[in-house]
Structure 1
């Protein structure tokens, strides 16, 4: 029987202490790993041999992480990219995602959390959902989100959502079938420095369900994973 190939991961980071330790950990976790010492070297690595996924720092000399993402996407390469960032502002992280990153993790991070993110992104890639990140519109059942115009429709009816609820809906639709903890959603949309509790997420989920006509007991779009968080149930397509 042929042995399944190990996913090839490219780590792009100028901190050697991080790359050496992370490469060893990923190797033990079932991945083949290459290292590039900055964004410029990372672009050369991608040009020579496109990896299955890139883990890329944001703050680097020569070519930073966001510029790395822009240049990779400009070449019409939709390989998955996870950014590692120390930036605390949620708008900065949202901008990076808008430019084409698939996910991000704040430094310092738990390597096991990174493994979880890598596997989740690779599963989406296998399912063919990777192009969602580049899509101008997201569709699920009769729900449509226009990411450029920041507008939402259900069928022919345009819906009214607060900006944070729209950001939450977009994030969930970009990561369908995944369970997201309240803490992760707080980090993604409010930032770790947001002075509030996870109830902020619950309030926006309640707003989404009310506007979408969804139900916590018979969910069509957003399911509550008991004691874990929330999951977007419906299949999502670009378009």
Structure 2
């Protein structure tokens, strides 16, 4: 049984993380677990889960801060907050964090699965509505800037944040050749040091996803020794 949905569990108690992982995996979800708050944003730069189960109390960056930041950077990812303190529930609901739901510890694994299914159903319905609202266009790929989505014939290609950034930069200047260094500047705004092979790796994944959605079109082209460009015609 597969739900075609990847989940991220952020929980620093190994026993609880393992319990949620085992139960959700057995229900067909692809699950990743992280145990430290500082690991979450770097992981999300290269992965695009449908939903995050996010513990409030974490080493490093806490869950409330993470929830706000994830909402700003990746607004389409669903978030369920997990808390051990019942008195925190009112605070969670009172804060405009943007979480989709919350679960109180101790919880039953069945409750977790039920909440995950319900939140994913709501998210899917919202995504379908957003797609239906997209204007008709002749462009092979369109961008939904608010949702950080690239759409091929109205269907989400499923890009990571970094892949979306790369595509958006090139689409803003069709036909212009971007060097790997120029693309790196747009990928990582914190001036981290990455190799040119990192750019090639992201481009390779981006092209693979576009090819799967548009098998007869090559819209990102390599210019040998120079870089890459977005050019859908011809």
Could you tell me the TM-score, scaled by structure 2's length? Answer: 0.51
1:91 paired residue number: 90
Q: How does 1:121-200 map onto structure 2 within 5 Å?
A: 121-128=119-126
Q: Distance in 1 between matches of 2:105 and 2:3?
A: 30
The equivalent residue for 1:22 is: 20
- Give the 3 Å change call, closer, same or farther, for CA 102–130 of structure 1 in structure 2: farther
Shift of 1:25: 1.1
Structure 2 CA distance, aligned partners of 1:121 and 1:14?
Answer: 23
- Tell me which residue corresponds to 1:38: 36
Alignment check: 8 A CA contact 1:70 1:100 kept: yes
Shift of 1:72: 0.6
Give the Cα–Cα distance (whole angstroms) in 1 for the partners of residues 128 and 67 of structure 2. Answer: 14
Matched, 1:82 2:80: yes
Cα gap change, 1:81/1:20 in structure 2, threshold over 3 Å: closer, same or farther? same
1:112 — aligned with what?
A: 110
Tell which structure's C-alpha radius of gyration is larger: 2
Q: Report the CA distance between 1:93 and its aligned residue.
A: 2.2
Any idea what SS the aligned residue of 2:59 has?
Answer: coil
Structure 1 counterpart SS, 2:75? coil
Does the 8 Å contact 1:7/1:52 carry over to 2? Answer: yes
Q: Gaps (5+ residues) in structure 2?
A: 130-234
The SS at the match of 1:48 is coil
CA contact (8 A) 2:8 2:32 kept: yes
Question: Structure 1 length normalisation: TM-score?
Answer: 0.50
1:9 corresponds to? 7
Distance 1:115 1:56 in 2: 14
Q: d(CA) in 1 for partners of 2:90 and 2:2?
A: 40
Superposition RMSD in Å: 2.1
Whole-Å Cα distance in 1 between the matches of residues 128 and 51 of structure 2?
A: 11
Moved over 6 A (4+): none
User: CA separation of 1:20/1:129 partners in 2, compared to 1, >3 Å: closer, same or farther?
Assistant: same
| Per-residue CA distance 1:181-234 (angstroms, 9 max, x = gap) | xxxxxxxxxxxxxxxxxxxxxxxxxxxxxxxxxxxxxxxxxxxxxxxxxxxxxx
Structure 1 residue 52, shift from structure 2 partner: 0.7
- Per mean C-alpha deviation after superposition, the further-off stretch among 67-76 and 25-34 is 67-76
Shift of 1:86: 1.4
Query: Structure 2 matches for 1:48-87, cutoff 5 A?
Result: 48-87=46-85
In structure 1, what is the equivalent of residue 150 of structure 2? none
Q: What are the ranges of 5 or more consecutive residues in structure 1 without an aligned counterpart?
A: 132-239
